[in-house]
């Protein structure tokens, strides 16, 4: 049996080591890189041990007063989220080695801040994943905002400063709504500890059902800031000014999916679907999610900056997850988890390709891509596969996650369900437009390109990309066991 | 049935051979071979040959797997892959027009594919299995009370697959994309790839939802109206089109909807007619595009009016063109004639309200228009008029350019004499 105290280790080891990397006077770049990679890998290994052999008990870090604690536990949903980030993080660090060489211009101080922050963020995200109650999740959720500030601010350009300001204001503002919800849950819930089905059942709500529903809606949009739901999504494309490893891992997976994860916790584990289903508390968030799905894609079609285009695509895809959540059925939750994981893999691959294009070929805009596929053959093979996956071509993982979501929506039936299917399909078409436009330009240039020398990145960037490509195909073909697992999580069996 | 791979309880990759697969396979294999031989002449000395032939070969495999698909998932997967690979043939020339045409093709196709996907999602709930079974697999107890959504799914699948088949109102991509491709590619695009949409409609209507369920509903009415509109519209637009390859593309729009009209009747004779039209049109249209490619090389112009007098120097070529055109119009002894005969017979027998006699009327008007847009080239080709001055130039056409066209012409006539050889039916 695994000692549950290991949870502390996987959370605080990277936070501690990350702080050391930032503060300690390390001169050698190699040592710093080795330290970051080693920390991430060790943490990931132990995180995987926890995920595969979850200890049953919760561990308490801190006790405020009797009922209110900061405690951690490994349950089904945390295994899903922690598994996703623990799979991606080591590869992202490996990828950053080469990328940051270009981005930081051998400024060791800057690089130290970056890698330190990157490692710390891992610990904080794991803490969110393993949080056992609303209070613990809320604390680390706030912390996540703070530790990622230096990463967004990285270039120190005007643009970066503006983006960071916006990010902080939006996130902290959103968290305030989360805090209001926390207070209400403290007052009306049996306990703050997450339990599938919610914590509100049992004692009388004194006829305050509608107030609680309103608070849920507020908290949905509060946590929705990180999950980039309309109308609080505009920080995400702006934050694309950060280095690509940050945009790829944090703004396509870790940070934004913490938002989605928090909303799943809020909906299924805190308020409970019994209170929310069939009321305005279901329809308002669902409407917002559906609108965001189409809105994100439309903006992506309009956007000509590659990274910002992918960021808009992320906005749209995150709302797929939220749509699954707002269906408020076990199937919907399964779909949400599936898309959370699968989208993470395919979007990080797409972003890493975009990063390779930015540092190696120094192209930032879609119209500059003409003929680039000849110069970066490997990058574009992977970019093509990830694009097809995001579009949802059968055989790749995107098809499966859309399938699970659509199955949930059709099973749900009614106008809401079919509107959801419609939104997913419209967005799939728009996705085809904005992804294929880039690919066709790269593969079919109109004129003979002037520059012809090859500029594919080295193996340190290609290995992560290759691994994600294999993952996209494997998840597309052998998804069944994983989806069964998600179904069990949603059904409360695991 | 051979199951290659199982993804989960409702999705698997499985293959089997039935009558529809055989008809489709015949068209695919013959067209791919003859257009391949022809391309040895046509593509000689062009750029990016490696890419062209790689996609040509991959597309062949994908189409074969599509023809053999035993369930909707397998079919849909190959259908999307086909779109992605065939766009390369459209954009081969890499000009601005070619790239725009390719993009238009891609977006229209995906638009259609996602309409199909809606049907796919819905049928997954209401069908007992997604394996193609003649007569359909709808779960009657589940459908009871939800007929509306299943009918909507049927309509969406018709429209979705109809995009590939060039059905009005989503036909605009076809006349942009097909003419811009190199001629051997236009030939297979117009001959086979549009038929993937037709097969999709056959598979979803006859093998999943079931003819009985749709017969007599508003979906059948809508389907018939759409196809008849397309038949007439395609012919009319072709009639006014001066550019030969574009004219042929409009002709494809019209002729493929003959097949769809036959399917929309849900009647046996019409179904046989549709299958025969499927094969005959594949041969004829492929042949016509190959001829068009040669005529463009010979005259150096893409317009029909500049192709006067070619019959004098290239009699075989123009005779083949004329016979293939006769099949398009529906004059014996060609496959097209027999196909249209059965379509009209089926229509008259179908007792399908006004469509039983409006349909044949539309087909006949369209046949007149077809004669009007195809035969002038033959007449002016053989009889350019007194004032016409023959130029001395003579492009030598090797056997590999002419033989494929002759083969297709012979096949087109054979389809009219022994149709059962191609459709496996009992006409």
How far apart CA B105 and CA B176 sit, in angstroms, is 8
pLDDT at A494 over 90: no
Query: Distance of CA B405 to CAs B25, B319, B320, B408, Å?
Result: 20, 10, 7, 5
Smallest CA–CA distance, residue A359 to chain B, in Å, is 27
- A429–B124: do the CB atoms touch at under 8 Å? no
Token pair for B84: 């992605």
User: Residue A400: closest CA among chain B residues belongs to which residue?
Assistant: B7
Per-residue confidence (pLDDT) for residue B235, from 0 to 100: 93
What's the pLDDT tens digit per position in A266-291? 999 998 888 888 889 999 999 999 99
3-state secondary structure of B302: coil
- A480–B8: do the CB atoms touch at under 8 Å? yes
3-state secondary structure of A454: coil
What's the pLDDT tens digit per position in B80-104? 999 999 999 999 888 888 989 999 9
pLDDT at A335 over 90: yes
How far apart CA A310 and CA A355 sit, in angstroms, is 11
Question: Stretch B255-277: mean pLDDT, rounded?
Answer: 90
Average pLDDT, chain A: 89
Per-residue confidence (pLDDT) for residue B307, from 0 to 100: 82
pLDDT at B426 over 70: no
In B300-398, alpha helices (H):
310-313, 315-329, 335-349, 355-382
- A410–B121: do the CB atoms touch at under 8 Å? yes
Per-residue confidence (pLDDT) for residue A252, from 0 to 100: 87
Per-residue confidence (pLDDT) for residue A63, from 0 to 100: 84
pLDDT at B264 over 60: yes
Question: What share of residues in chain A are helix, strand, coil (percent, to 5)?
Answer: 75, 5, 20
* B115 touching chain A per CB within 8 A: yes
Q: Would you list which residues of chain A are within 8 Å, Cβ to Cβ, of chain B?
A: 388, 391, 393-395, 400, 403, 406-407, 409-411, 418, 421-422, 425-426, 428-429, 432-433, 436-437, 440, 444-446, 477-480, 483
Q: Which of residues 52 through 81 in chain B touch A, CB cutoff 8 A?
A: 73, 76-77, 80-81
Smallest CA–CA distance, residue A416 to chain B, in Å, is 14
How far apart CA A357 and CA A244 sit, in angstroms, is 11
Percent over 70 (pLDDT), chain B: 99
pLDDT at A85 over 90: yes
Percent over 90 (pLDDT), chain B: 51
Choose the weakest-confidence range: A195-209, B171-185, B243-257, B290-304: A195-209
Measured between its terminal Cα atoms, the distance across chain B in Å is 27
Q: Please list, in sequence order, all residues whose beta carbon lies within 8 angstroms of the beta carbon of residue A297, skipping any fewer than 6 positions away.
A: A312, A313, A316, A426, A427, A430, A431, A434
Of the two residues B40 and A451, the one the predictor is more confident about is: B40
Query: Distance of CA A117 to CAs A24, A30, A417, Å?
Result: 13, 17, 41
How far apart CA B296 and CA B394 sit, in angstroms, is 13
- B-chain residues near A394 (CB < 8 A): 73, 76-77, 80
CA diameter of chain A: 74
Choose the weakest-confidence range: A331-345, B241-255, B379-393, B397-411: B379-393
3-state secondary structure of A243: coil
pLDDT band at B427 (very low <50, low <70, confident <90, very high): low
Smallest CA–CA distance, residue A398 to chain B, in Å, is 13
* B99 touching chain A per CB within 8 A: yes
User: Residue A414: closest CA among chain B residues belongs to which residue?
Assistant: B149
Question: Stretch A176-184: mean pLDDT, rounded?
Answer: 91
Percent over 90 (pLDDT), chain A: 55
Q: CA gyration radius for chain B?
A: 21
pLDDT at A313 over 90: yes
Average pLDDT, chain B: 89
What one-character-per-residue DSSP string does B201-246 give? Answer: HHHHIIIII-HHHHTTSHHHHHHHHHHHHHHHHHHHHHHT--BHHH
pLDDT at A56 over 70: yes
Mutate to test the interface with A, among B55, B93, B117, B147 (most CBs of A within 10 A): B117
Phi, psi at A62, each rounded to 5°? -155, 140
Smallest CA–CA distance, residue B114 to chain A, in Å, is 6
Per-residue confidence (pLDDT) for residue A4, from 0 to 100: 86
Question: Stretch A159-186: mean pLDDT, rounded?
Answer: 91
Choose the weakest-confidence range: A51-65, A168-182, B47-61: A51-65
Per-residue confidence (pLDDT) for residue A24, from 0 to 100: 83
- Of A10, A126, A131, A4, which is closest to residue A56 (Cα–Cα)? A4
Question: Stretch B106-132: mean pLDDT, rounded?
Answer: 92
- B103–A477: do the CB atoms touch at under 8 Å? no
What's the pLDDT tens digit per position in A95-129? 888 888 777 666 778 888 888 999 999 999 999 99
Whether the CB-CB separation of B265 and B353 falls below 8 Å is answered with no
pLDDT at B272 over 80: yes
- A440–B99: do the CB atoms touch at under 8 Å? yes
Question: Stretch A208-218: mean pLDDT, rounded?
Answer: 89
Question: What share of residues in chain B are helix, strand, coil (percent, to 5)?
Answer: 75, 5, 20
Query: Distance of CA B16 to CAs B99, B392, B425, Å?
Result: 37, 56, 19
Question: Stretch A322-333: mean pLDDT, rounded?
Answer: 93
- A440–B80: do the CB atoms touch at under 8 Å? no
Nearest-CB residue to A421 (from B99, B111, B118) = B118
pLDDT at B356 over 90: no
Per-residue confidence (pLDDT) for residue A204, from 0 to 100: 63
How far apart CA B29 and CA B38 sit, in angstroms, is 14
Whether the CB-CB separation of B34 and B407 falls below 8 Å is answered with yes
Q: Which of residues 10 through 29 in chain B touch A, CB cutoff 8 A?
A: 11
* Residue A3: half-sphere exposure toward Cβ, Cα within 13 Å: 5
What's the pLDDT tens digit per position in A346-394? 999 999 999 999 888 888 898 888 888 888 889 999 999 999 999 999 9
How distant is the alpha carbon of residue B178 from its chain centre?
12
């Amino acid at each position: 049996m695994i000692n549950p105290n290991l949870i502390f280790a996987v959370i605080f080891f990277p936070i501690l080591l990350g702080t050391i990397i930032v503060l300690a006077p390390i001169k050698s770049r190699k040592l710093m890189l080795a330290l970051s990679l080693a920390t991430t890998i060790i943490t990931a290994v132990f995180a995987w041990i926890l995920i595969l052999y979850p200890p049953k008990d919760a561990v308490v870090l801190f006790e405020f007063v009797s009922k209110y604690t900061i405690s951690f536990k490994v349950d089904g949903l945390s295994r899903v989220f922690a598994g996703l980030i623990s799979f991606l993080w080591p590869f992202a660090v490996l990828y950053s080695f080469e990328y940051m060489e270009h981005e930081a211009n051998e400024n060791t101080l800057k690089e130290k801040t970056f890698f330190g922050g990157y490692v710390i963020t891992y610990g904080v995200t794991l803490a969110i994943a393993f949080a056992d109650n609303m209070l613990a999740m809320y604390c680390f959720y706030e912390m996540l905002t703070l530790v990622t500030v230096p990463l967004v601010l990285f270039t120190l350009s005007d643009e970066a400063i503006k983006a960071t300001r916006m990010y902080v204001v939006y996130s902290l503002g959103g968290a305030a709504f989360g805090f209001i919800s926390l207070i209400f849950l403290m007052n009306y819930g049996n306990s703050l500890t997450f339990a599938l089905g919610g914590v509100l059942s049992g004692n009388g709500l004194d006829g305050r059902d509608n107030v609680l529903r309103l608070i849920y809606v507020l908290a949905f949009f509060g946590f929705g800031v990180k999950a980039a739901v309309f109308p609080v999504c505009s920080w995400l494309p702006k934050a694309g000014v950060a280095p690509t490893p940050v945009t790829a891992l944090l703004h396509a997976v870790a940070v934004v999916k913490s938002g989605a994860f928090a909303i799943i916790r809020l909906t299924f584990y805190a308020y409970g679907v019994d209170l929310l289903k069939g009321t305005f508390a279901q329809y308002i968030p669902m409407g917002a999610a559906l609108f965001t799905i189409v809105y994100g894609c439309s903006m992506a079609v309009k956007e000509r900056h590659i990274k910002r285009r992918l960021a808009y695509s992320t906005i749209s895809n995150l709302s797929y997850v939220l749509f699954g959540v707002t269906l408020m059925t076990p199937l919907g939750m399964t779909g949400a988890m599936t898309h959370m994981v699968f989208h993470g893999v395919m979007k990080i691959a797409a972003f890493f390709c975009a990063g390779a294009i930015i540092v190696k070929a120094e192209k930032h805009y879609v119209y500059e891509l003409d003929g680039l596929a000849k110069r970066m053959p490997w990058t574009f093979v992977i970019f093509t596969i990830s694009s097809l996956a995001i579009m949802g071509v059968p055989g790749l993982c995107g098809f499966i996650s859309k399938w699970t979501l659509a199955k949930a929506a059709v099973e749900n039936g009614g106008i809401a369900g079919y509107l959801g299917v419609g939104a997913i399909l419209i967005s799939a078409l728009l996705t085809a437009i904005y992804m294929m436009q880039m690919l066709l330009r790269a593969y079919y240039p109109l004129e003979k390109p002037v520059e012809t020398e090859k500029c594919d990145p080295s193996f340190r960037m290609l290995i992560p990309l290759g691994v994600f490509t294999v993952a996209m195909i494997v998840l597309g073909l052998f998804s069944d066991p994983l989806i069964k697992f998600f179904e069990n999580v949603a059904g409360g069996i695991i | 049935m051979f199951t290659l791979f199982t993804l989960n309880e409702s999705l698997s990759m499985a293959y089997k051979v039935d009558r529809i697969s055989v008809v489709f396979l015949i068209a695919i294999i013959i067209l791919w071979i003859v257009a391949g031989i022809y391309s040895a002449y046509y593509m000689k000395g062009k750029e990016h040959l490696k890419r062209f032939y790689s996609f040509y070969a991959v597309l062949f495999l994908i189409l074969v797997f599509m023809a053999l698909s035993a369930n909707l998932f397998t079919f849909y997967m190959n259908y999307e892959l086909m779109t992605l690979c065939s766009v390369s043939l459209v954009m081969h020339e890499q000009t601005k027009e070619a790239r725009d045409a390719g993009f238009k093709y891609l977006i229209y196709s995906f638009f259609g594919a996602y309409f199909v996907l809606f049907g796919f999602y819905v049928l997954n709930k209401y069908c007992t299995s997604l394996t193609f079974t003649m007569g359909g697999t709808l779960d009657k107890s589940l459908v009871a009370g939800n007929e509306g959504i299943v009918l909507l799914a049927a309509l969406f699948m018709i429209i979705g697959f109809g995009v590939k088949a060039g059905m009005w109102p989503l036909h605009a991509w076809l006349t942009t994309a097909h003419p811009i491709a190199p001629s051997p590619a236009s030939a297979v695009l117009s001959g086979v790839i549009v038929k993937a949409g037709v097969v999709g409609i056959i598979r979803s209507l006859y093998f999943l939802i079931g003819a009985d369920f749709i017969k007599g509903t508003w979906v059948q009415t809508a389907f018939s109206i759409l196809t008849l509109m397309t038949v007439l519209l395609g012919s009319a637009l072709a009639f006014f089109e001066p550019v030969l390859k574009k004219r042929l593309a409009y002709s494809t729009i019209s002729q493929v909807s003959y097949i769809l009209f036959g399917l929309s009747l849900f009647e046996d004779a019409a179904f046989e007619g549709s299958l025969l039209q499927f094969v005959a049109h594949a041969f004829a249209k492929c042949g016509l595009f190959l001829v068009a490619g040669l005529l463009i090389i010979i005259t150096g112009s893409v317009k029909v009016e500049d192709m006067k007098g070619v019959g004098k120097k290239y009699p075989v070529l123009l005779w083949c063109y004329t016979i293939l055109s006769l099949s398009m119009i529906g004059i014996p002894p060609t496959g097209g004639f027999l196909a249209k005969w059965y379509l009209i017979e089926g229509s008259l027998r179908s007792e399908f309200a006004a469509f039983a006699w409006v349909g044949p009327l539309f087909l006949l008007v369209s046949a007149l228009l077809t004669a009007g847009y195809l035969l002038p080239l033959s007449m002016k080709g053989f009889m350019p008029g007194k004032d016409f001055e023959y130029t001395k130039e003579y492009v030598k056409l090797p056997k590999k350019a002419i033989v494929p066209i002759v083969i297709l012409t012979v096949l087109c006539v054979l389809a009219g004499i022994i149709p059962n050889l191609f459709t496996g039916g009992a006409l």
